[in-house]
Amino acid sequence: MILIETKGRSVSSHWHKQRGRVICHIQLFMATRVFLLILLLLSSATSIFSLYEDQVGLMDWHQQYIGKVKHAVFHTQKTGRKRVLVSTEENVIASLDLRHGEIFWRHVLGTNDAIDGIDIALGKYVITLSSDGSILRAWNLPDGQMVWESFLRGPKHSKSSLMVLKTLKVDKDRVIIVSGKGCVHGVSSIDGEVLWTKDLAAESVEVQQVIPLHDSDKIYAVGFSGLTQFHAYEINAMNGELLKHETADFSGGFVGELALVSSETLVALDTTRSILVTVSFRNGKINFHQTYISSLVKDSTGIAMILPSTLTGMFTLKINTLKLIIRVTGEDQLELVEKFDHATVVSDVLSISEDKEAFAVVQHGGIKIHLQVKLSDDWNSDLVKESIEMDQQRGLVHKVFINNYIRTDRSHGFRALIVMEDHSLLLLQQGKIVWNREDALASIIDVTTSELPVDKAVSVAKGEHNLIDWLKGHILKLKGTLMLASPEDVVAIQAIRLKSSEKSKLTRDHNGFRKLLIVLTKAGKIFALHSGDGRVVWSLLLPSLRKSKVCDCPTGLNLYQWQVPHHHAMDQNPSVLVVGKCGYSSNAPAVLSFVDTYTGKELNSLDLGHSVAQIIPLPFTDSTEQRLHLLVDADRRVHLYPRTPEARTIFQQEFSNIYWYSVEADNSIIKGHVIKRTCIGEVADDFCFESGDLWSIVFPLESEKIIATGSRKSNEVVHTQAKVTSDQDVMYKYISKNLLFVATVSPKASVGIGSADPEEASLFAYLIDTVTGRILHRMTHHGAQGPVHAVFSENWVVYHYFNLRAHRFEMSVIEIYDQSRAENKDVWKLVVGKHNLTAPVSSYSRPEVVTKSQSYFFTHSVKAMAVTLTAKGITSKQLLIGTIGDQVLALDKRFVDPRRTVNPSQAEKEEGIIPLTDFLPIIPQSYVTHALKVEGLRSIVTVPAKLESTTLVFAYGMDLFFTQLAPSRTYDSLTEDFSYALLLITIIALVAAIFVTWILSERKELQDKWR
């Protein structure tokens, strides 16, 4: 994103420092060619990444999550496996083992398919209602297979609810009552057939609640029409017959939620939110009764809200930060039972026997939480009173669900499932945390990596316990390689490999495989995961990203490496910068937070007075190795961080070389900016700068809409600038950090596949220099449309789109080469010095570039794309494609080479050019995720290891997956299963043989002499 015009020079500086070296490089090209040839011979033409069955889990790990739980239903009645069914905010339904918290089965619904309700019907089906009450599905309880699915239609959007009638038994079919989209439906639970539909929206009634009547087939549907009219419908649940319809007017009007107190009493708020209205509709008569809130509580200023609850005879009212439990006694008398602070959570009611119902209350007290289970008709009865120590990093309790069981002494026991502020899920029983799940990891926003501490006391013996163990292990391995191992030995070998303590150490390793993955989640919690085994090293619920009085809905945005110490790596800890903002609007104030990555402590946090629209990490660091960052706010002002005089001096030296761009996707405008001067404002601020527009590209709205952009990763290293083709020619890559790929489509084609005809859809691909706004390349794909996924690396970009004419997905590649350096082929020119390789590159020169492109069909649609990154950029590249099946596929870059021809010549074959095909091959062995799925895959992150051949891949979505990849195999290290013992034994045998033959020859010589 940051564009330093003159820095083009530094990319190539190593290459043209000295003339002599250039010659070496020419030699190097040739040498690499020879080397490639040898490689080609060695690896028998196919370099497919794949692994053996016993290698699974050695380098990779996989974790499954579900997200923040919304609803939970327990299934514990029958003997057998006890489970809890949950639906989450990430649109997941899952069945969890109640004993360990593991997932039995799980389904991820689409991103637009939010779950409204979950219940169990017939004791064997899980019923879910989703998409605003329009899709009803039944899943088999034991294995999660879908049994049936029904689509419910309605005229308009309204509140939706799901209810399985418990008491009705008609041919053992239980009717499911669904209200949503303005209608009430009765659905058979056996096959999902819609038995009846009552369109209440036609009578302009908005259904608020459906109430079952005990021991009868009847239900009540209550709602409002307009603000003031209250309606109650009595409906036969079997056939949908309308039995009674009553209305009554209440002049005060209604607002917000209705609370059901008993089957015939409701409580609502009037429009002023100061009066509680008790509605009772007994025997066909509707009565209203008003009670002022101020008569119940003294301090009743503030907005009152009725919270949804199912407590019998009681309801919960929220005023400011207070939660009030109010009981309805008699007909319409209200009585305040209890006052809680806002952090207290009340569960739904659970019937524990014929006439008894219980509910749970969870309160915070210091480092502990207090769980009480009470009978609903007696507030002072405490069936359970437990205090549990809680990790402070989990924040407040957000939800509680309870379940009962019979203890060994035949009394009632309770277990509670609680959902915390950090989205974690815990099961409490007998005052202990039975298990917990860190489900915040299902909603990762951003990832960065941090190095582990340098091992201060280096001891090799730490990993291997002693020499005998070490030898034993190697002899076992030797047995394995010589196929002498018994089955038990094989198991032992596998166990040794899997639990190798080497990979999970908390220190830096020589190869750079061990790292900390720092992830920021939607919950505002930061986790540090160890790359070796994926365990959580530390976690921190950021105070600045927690809901507070100042900020109602803080959101995390990005993570950046703030300080990466190299000079003082032994005594300074690296830290990351977390950028968040308060609220969702574009001019919401920004929040910064600095977190130490070794200790997981927040070092500092700043509430900024300005908003944040863009964050630009600059390639400069100050003396303490803190990276300079620019924050661009909504008014296009630029703020420099850290706010130190030193940072300002560094920044001012590079002032005129800083350019950046902004993409207004909705407006289809791309603009380039430059810093002009310090801000002129009321308060003098030395760290604030005004910006000016340098260039703009205005796409005509009627024909083009921006749908994808892509640029090179700032930390990418390009090893060689030149590419030697088969005919001894050199092509110079156009390597600029300032290139931006933009894809636009016709507005009609931007909605989804099928929305436009091939004639009216086209896709435009652009390569733009972001310093000058120059369009270096512009290309049309007629009859193509989005969604577009693009990846930019070195001098090429690969993008994926849909071809409407061919009815297939396609991938195109654009490679861009620099012509201005093309004359530097002659060796003598280089020797004499008549070349322009040492000249600094300026974006203001007229570029002489040539592009090569080619398109290929690709079978899958794509969710994410990335490219492998290695430390020096020597290793060949692989594209990592997140497929629609939530897997990650590695595709060699050679397959998307624009120079592929139908019949490559011998020389081209030697160079590694694959014969042209219309399809990109999908080789099953090249799935990086092998048999696993990364459910809900959102992004793939690649990080270089210190070892050149290896790159670390982290794919995340609902699940996390981490592995190591070697796109050109591990040519620079011995494989992990290399048998040192075999080598040792061979050497010993050889030495012994030498000695024996020496002695023998001596003897023979002696004998010869005696003869």
Partner 1 sequence: MKKLPLFAFFFTLLFLSSSAFDSDELLLDDEEFGIEGRAQPAQPQVKPHEPATTRSTTTTTRKRLSDSDSDSKIQFSLEHAFGDSDFTPAGTFSARLKTASHGGQMKQLESYYYNTGSLNEETLKLTKLRISRNQFLGVEKEKFEKLLQDDDFYRIRLPSNPLSPPGRDYIISSVKARCLPQEGLDEHFVIHMEGANILAVNYGAFGACSYPRQLKLPAKWSFNSHTVLKNPEQAQRAPIFAEDILGGENVEGEVLPPPERSFWAKYWMYLIPLGLIVMNAITQAMNLPEEQAAGQSGGQGQQPAAAIQRGASSAVRRR
Judged by the rule CB under 8 A, the positions of this chain that interact with partner 1 are: 5-6, 9, 27, 30, 656, 669, 671, 674, 676, 692-701, 703-704, 728, 759, 764-765, 772-775, 778-782, 803, 806, 810, 812, 820, 839-842, 844-846, 853-857, 902-903, 905-907, 916-918
Q: Report in angstroms how near the CB of residue 782 gets to partner 1 at its nearest.
A: 6
Whichever of 28 and 476 has its CB closer to partner 1, that residue is 28
Whichever of 17 and 81 has its CB closer to partner 1, that residue is 17
Q: How far apart are CA 954 and CA 889, in angstroms?
A: 13
Whichever of 6 and 216 has its CB closer to partner 1, that residue is 6
The answer to whether the CB of 622 falls within 8 A of the CB of 563 is: no
Q: How many residues does the chain have?
A: 1011
The 3-state secondary structure of 598-667 reads: CCCCEEEEEEEEEECCEEEEEEEECCCCEEEEEEECCCCEEEEECCCHHHHHHHHHCHHHEEEEEEECCC
Q: Quick one: angle between helices 467-481 and 980-1010, nearest 10?
A: 90
Cis preceding linkage at 944, omega within 30: no
Q: Report in angstroms how near the CB of residue 634 gets to partner 1 at its nearest.
A: 19
Q: Report in angstroms how near the CB of residue 844 gets to partner 1 at its nearest.
A: 4
How many other β-carbons are positioned within 10 Å of the β-carbon of residue 214? 8
Q: Report in angstroms how near the CB of residue 33 gets to partner 1 at its nearest.
A: 11
Q: Report in angstroms how near the CB of residue 787 gets to partner 1 at its nearest.
A: 18
Q: How far apart are CA 471 and CA 981, in angstroms?
A: 8
Q: Are strands 194-199 and 525-530 parallel, antiparallel or unpaired?
A: unpaired
Tally DSSP H helices, then E strands, for the chain: 8, 65
To which residue do tokens 């057939």 refer? 193
Whichever of 156 and 677 has its CB closer to partner 1, that residue is 677
Instruction: Name the phi and psi angles at 726, rounded to 5.
Output: -65, -30
Whichever of 698 and 988 has its CB closer to partner 1, that residue is 698
Whichever of 33 and 318 has its CB closer to partner 1, that residue is 33
Q: Report in angstroms how near the CB of residue 656 gets to partner 1 at its nearest.
A: 7
How many other β-carbons are positioned within 10 Å of the β-carbon of residue 981? 18
Helices in 761-885 by DSSP H: which ranges? 827-832
- H or E stretch including 322? strand 322-329
Whichever of 569 and 694 has its CB closer to partner 1, that residue is 694
Q: Report in angstroms how near the CB of residue 846 gets to partner 1 at its nearest.
A: 6
Whichever of 405 and 699 has its CB closer to partner 1, that residue is 699
Q: Which distant-in-sequence residues (6+ apart) come within 8 Å of 934 by Cβ?
A: 62, 882, 886, 887, 888, 955, 956, 957, 958, 959, 960, 961
E-assigned strand segments in 903-991: 939-944, 951-956, 960-965
Q: Report in angstroms how near the CB of residue 753 gets to partner 1 at its nearest.
A: 17
Whichever of 112 and 906 has its CB closer to partner 1, that residue is 906
Q: Which distant-in-sequence residues (6+ apart) come within 8 Å of 54 by Cβ?
A: 494, 497
Whichever of 111 and 901 has its CB closer to partner 1, that residue is 901
Q: Report in angstroms how near the CB of residue 718 gets to partner 1 at its nearest.
A: 20
Q: How far apart are CA 751 and CA 449, in angstroms?
A: 36
Residue type, 284: G
Q: Report in angstroms how near the CB of residue 872 gets to partner 1 at its nearest.
A: 25
The two structure tokens encoding residue 906: 């011998």
Whichever of 495 and 775 has its CB closer to partner 1, that residue is 775
Whichever of 691 and 979 has its CB closer to partner 1, that residue is 691
Q: Which distant-in-sequence residues (6+ apart) come within 8 Å of 654 by Cβ?
A: 4, 618, 620
Q: Report in angstroms how near the CB of residue 902 gets to partner 1 at its nearest.
A: 6
Q: Report in angstroms how near the CB of residue 845 gets to partner 1 at its nearest.
A: 4
Quote the radius of gyration of the chain (alpha carbons, Å).
34
